[in-house]
Structure 1
Amino acid sequence: MRRGLVTLSVGRDLVRLTAGEILPGDLSSLTEGRWVLVRRVPVGPVLAITPFNFPLNLVLHKVVPAIVAGCAVTLKPAPQAPLTAYRLGEALLEAGWPPEALTILLADPPLAEKLVQAPQYRLLTFTGSAAVGWHLQSLASRKKVLLELGGSAAAIVHDPPSLEKAAADLAEAAYLYAGQVCISVQRLFVHRSLEKPFLEAYQAAAAALQVGDPLSEKTHLSSLIDERSFRRVEAWLTEARLGGARELLPPTFDPEKRIVSPTLLADLPPTCHLAREEAFAPFAEVRFYDTFEEALEGVNTSPYGLQAGVYTQREDLLKAAFEQLDVGGVIHNAPPTLRLDSMPYGGVKGSGLGREGVPYAYLEYTEPKTLLW
């Protein structure tokens, strides 16, 4: 709820900056006395498809840019969490948004595919899994497409200001919401000289996390979203163990509550699912490196590239990470799960197309229209 209010306030402030711009046109004697007016106009009707994990704020990240841009929206929320979107829709209509500019509907995959192919929509904006997102992009024909997809977010721990704080923050970032976050920490690259103290601090922090009732504000992680997800995670962790992975924090499974305990593995078999795919689970792997360049190369081996965290007190290493990491964002001395609702957010490689964050999504929801006079 708090994040959603921030998103709304960013959209409110953006309205003041959407009047357009006037550019001088007299750059040569041939255009003397000319001026250029550039105004951003709505791209047209938007189809927005959202996931279950942040059913208010991620919906707002689709809807608020549409309000600012003046686009009608058809919103398809995740079937696991549709009611928040419906309540938001009611609130928007009460606040005065025209009913004809907002449609909220549930749709199974075949209907969703038909919506993506429908010619009346000029923009598809999707947040969810990479497999589904890229499939929908292939169906979108000549539409603009904005994709915020999966990740296997990494953190490099080289010379942090506080090792204990870094370990505690990363443990929470790996297991919060049962890891069901696209920028949940999945890969840890720790300098070999820090191996023992880091593991001790990390394991202690993980043990202190509260597992239980998802409705309690004191709970850090609870159930996976459905039975299918629980069985997938159980199978992938079992595959890694049978393949020889070291269990530094062994998983436990509660099938009745669909809870998987915080898990930390090392020496993952390179062909196992957890080494290649987004886990979307309370899981992280740790690797120990000798040189910073080795860590950068390790981060870049992933097919995904959303965000990465870099813990260092050296400006030259931070600059090297920013220049060389193939990700959409580098977070300094904090987990890669940190996101500001006003900043550009999105990934490269398999992690998506375009950028969200209200001011940057607004650019996707509009087209520049030029008047030269």
Structure 2
Amino acid sequence: MSHDLFERHREKLEQAVAAAGTRGYWSGYKEMPSPRTYGETAQDDGIKAFQSHLGKNFEIDQPTSGAWIGAEDGPFGVALNVKYPAPDVDAMMTAAKAAMPAWRKLGPQGRAGVCMEVLERLNAMSFEIAFSVMHTTGQAFMMAFQAGGAHAQDRGLEAVAYGYSEQMRHPETVDWIKPQGKHDPLEMKKKFTAVGRGVALMVGCATFPTWNGYPGLFASLVTGNAVIVKPHPRAVLPLALTVRVIREVLSEVGIDPNLVCLAVDTLEAPITKEFALHEDTKIIDFTGSSEFGNWLEDNAKQAEVYTEKAGVNAVIIDDFDDIKGIARNLSFTFSLYSGQMCTTPQNIFIPKGGIDVNGENMSFDDVAKAIATGVEKFLSVPERAVEVLGAIQNKAILDRMEEAKKLGDVVLDTTEIDHPMFKGIKCHTPVLIKVDGKEVDKYREELFGPIVFLIATEDTNDSIAKMTQTIRENGAITLGMYSKHEDVIEAVEEAALDAGVNLSINLTGGVFVNQSAAFSDFHATGANPAANAALTDGHFVSGRFRVMQSRR
């Protein structure tokens, strides 16, 4: 049946493989919640499906300690009260490993077919998943639907396409014939098998459980591995739904569903280290803090470890004529999901002597004021603002914002906006703080959340130097710049290559530095401390399997 699934989804898979090669625009799933695409009753059905989980045990027939745990705290005030089976670590690892031989026998095409079917079913559940993402992460609905649903599914599909292509670089069998002159040739039959490394551990994050989780999850699956899905305790439901769908499809094709298990823990009693150091864990995917990501890299020596960690994303502002375009674009960029994105800029480098705008000097303070005014104007309508800002996922971010104000002069203070739909929930606008470029210690590390530093540098060359220094030291996922001088653009391009960070140039329209398009944009590079891998490239999948041969 798995090969029937491959034939059913072959066309889309081949399109995905082609798109990854050409890097143009292509998407496998519709990002707009249109009734035409998802059905007239899809949204209502999704709400009901999400609500059906609240206050109940989330049943999964997998190795468990017998306890039920869970403490997701809905950022919009919706009480989830969902309980999940607590894992028995050794039993779960044993069961997952035992399921691998049958999974291996399906081969790359069979595994790809199963993964494609899973993604199609997840796409059909996009509203249910969107509401589960929204009410665990604090993302506003549209972002939850796009980033948590269709875009996450695209990233999963991209991983399947890369993993499938990498395994198909060689034939499964070959007749090897070596001529021997006047003598009979030497002949052998050779068989090549892609073999997964072992059990993979996918450690989910609290803010983007599916978008950040699907690449590693599907890359490991398609390359022949079992997967333990370990969600962040604050955002379990989206990945629990995902695991349930995967297990259903595995059962339908005759594979032990314990190939993929859900490992839930709590903030008070974490279990990630126990899984990470298990001798059978051979792959780890992690998104989260630099501290724990570095610990995994340093200690989980038996595993291939892929990490995405903290970074100090930056924007360099040089002479530029469309200051309104800068302010408009950055206002959305700073505000989207209250800056709780690994791609949101923190450090905005501006020459203290100002910039040239249409032949006239615009002072640093005026540039800062223009950006601040843009943020205020953009968020001036509460009904619109809350659909961009969403809710603060972790209250520690609010404390961090207050502490950040002490580091410099507040150009724009954060304000609270009452959410019109969820009583008692307050959304928070970004805080913009002016600091001197010489005070690198104030902005050299990431302060996660809607915190923006407007940094006064000696000149644009100093901006480039400070950007390069901070990214080399602490990493970044994104870098943006604005300049009307080609030589400056070339200089920043070279600096970005040296710093190992992806660059966006002169964005003033409907594309933003903190957005990343599957099949075209590489998310992170693996070339600076913010991440040791990129989503998605050949390196991200090739280390998850090995090719074994037999010959006769």
TM range (shorter): 0.7 to 0.9
1:319 equivalent in structure 2? 490
Q: Secondary structure at the match of 2:281?
A: coil
Given that 1:64 and 1:358 are in contact with CA atoms closer than 8 Å, whether structure 2 keeps it comes out as no
Superposed CA deviations along residues 173-216 of structure 1, whole A, max 9, x for unmatched, are 222111111121101113421435533432232113448999x8
2:460 equivalent in structure 1? 292
Q: 1:117 aligns with which of 250, 262, 277?
A: 277
Quick one: distance in 1 between partners of 2:535 and 2:242?
20
**Counterpart amino acid of 2:430?**
P
2:325 equivalent in structure 1? 165
Given that 1:150 and 1:351 are in contact with CA atoms closer than 8 Å, whether structure 2 keeps it comes out as yes
2:404 equivalent in structure 1? 237
1:264 equivalent in structure 2? 432
Quick one: distance in 2 between partners of 1:189 and 1:89?
43
1:27 equivalent in structure 2? none
- Aligned ranges for residues 172-321 of structure 1 at < 5 Å? 172-191=332-351, 192-193=354-355, 194=362, 195=364, 198-210=367-379, 219-234=387-402, 236-240=403-407, 245-252=408-415, 257=425, 259-267=427-435, 275-289=443-457, 291-302=459-470, 303-306=473-476, 307-321=478-492
- Aligned ranges for residues 59-208 of structure 1 at < 5 Å? 59-96=213-250, 98=255, 99-108=257-266, 110-160=270-320, 162-191=322-351, 192-193=354-355, 194=362, 195=364, 198-208=367-377
Given that 1:11 and 1:359 are in contact with CA atoms closer than 8 Å, whether structure 2 keeps it comes out as no
Seen in structure 2, the aligned counterparts of structure 1 residues 94 and 286 have a Cα distance that, compared at 3 Å, is: same
Superposed CA deviations along residues 105-144 of structure 1, whole A, max 9, x for unmatched, are 1124642111111010111111001112112323212321
2:208 equivalent in structure 1? 54
Seen in structure 2, the aligned counterparts of structure 1 residues 272 and 20 have a Cα distance that, compared at 3 Å, is: closer
1:20 equivalent in structure 2? 169
Seen in structure 2, the aligned counterparts of structure 1 residues 89 and 320 have a Cα distance that, compared at 3 Å, is: same
Unaligned runs of 5+ in 2: 1-148, 172-185, 356-361, 419-423
Seen in structure 2, the aligned counterparts of structure 1 residues 253 and 222 have a Cα distance that, compared at 3 Å, is: same
Seen in structure 2, the aligned counterparts of structure 1 residues 197 and 164 have a Cα distance that, compared at 3 Å, is: farther
Quick one: distance in 1 between partners of 2:487 and 2:546?
39
Of the two, which has the highest radius of gyration?
Answer: 2
Quick one: distance in 1 between partners of 2:517 and 2:546?
25
Could you tell me how far 1:226 is from its partner in structure 2?
A: 2.6
Seen in structure 2, the aligned counterparts of structure 1 residues 270 and 42 have a Cα distance that, compared at 3 Å, is: farther
2:514 equivalent in structure 1? 337
Unaligned runs of 5+ in 1: 23-32
Quick one: distance in 2 between partners of 1:155 and 1:127?
23
Could you tell me how far 1:314 is from its partner in structure 2?
A: 4.2
Quick one: distance in 2 between partners of 1:367 and 1:315?
45
Quick one: distance in 2 between partners of 1:238 and 1:316?
35
1:3 equivalent in structure 2? 151
Superposed CA deviations along residues 252-291 of structure 1, whole A, max 9, x for unmatched, are 4689746443211112697797523311111101124454
Could you tell me how far 1:83 is from its partner in structure 2?
A: 0.3
Segment drifting more, 248-257 vs 258-267: 248-257
**Counterpart amino acid of 1:58?**
N
**Counterpart amino acid of 1:352?**
A
Q: TM-score, normalised by structure 2?
A: 0.57
Quick one: distance in 1 between partners of 2:270 and 2:350?
44
Given that 1:65 and 1:358 are in contact with CA atoms closer than 8 Å, whether structure 2 keeps it comes out as no
**Paired residue total:** 361
**Counterpart amino acid of 2:368?**
L
Q: Secondary structure at the match of 2:284?
A: strand
The alignment status of 1:356 with 2:524, answered yes or no, reads no
Given that 2:437 and 2:455 are in contact with CA atoms closer than 8 Å, whether structure 1 keeps it comes out as no
Quick one: distance in 1 between partners of 2:480 and 2:191?
41
Seen in structure 2, the aligned counterparts of structure 1 residues 70 and 280 have a Cα distance that, compared at 3 Å, is: same
Higher RCO structure, 1 or 2 (CA under 8 Å, sep 6+): 1
**Counterpart amino acid of 1:251?**
T
**Counterpart amino acid of 1:167?**
A
Identity, in percent, stands at: 17
Given that 1:345 and 1:355 are in contact with CA atoms closer than 8 Å, whether structure 2 keeps it comes out as yes
Given that 1:7 and 1:358 are in contact with CA atoms closer than 8 Å, whether structure 2 keeps it comes out as no
Could you tell me how far 1:61 is from its partner in structure 2?
A: 1.8
Quick one: distance in 2 between partners of 1:372 and 1:205?
67
Seen in structure 2, the aligned counterparts of structure 1 residues 276 and 15 have a Cα distance that, compared at 3 Å, is: closer
Segment drifting more, 297-306 vs 147-156: 297-306
Given that 1:74 and 1:105 are in contact with CA atoms closer than 8 Å, whether structure 2 keeps it comes out as yes
Quick one: distance in 2 between partners of 1:321 and 1:185?
16
Quick one: distance in 2 between partners of 1:46 and 1:213?
44
Given that 1:175 and 1:281 are in contact with CA atoms closer than 8 Å, whether structure 2 keeps it comes out as no
Q: TM-score, normalised by structure 1?
A: 0.82
Quick one: distance in 1 between partners of 2:332 and 2:485?
25
Could you tell me how far 1:168 is from its partner in structure 2?
A: 1.7
**Counterpart amino acid of 2:247?**
L
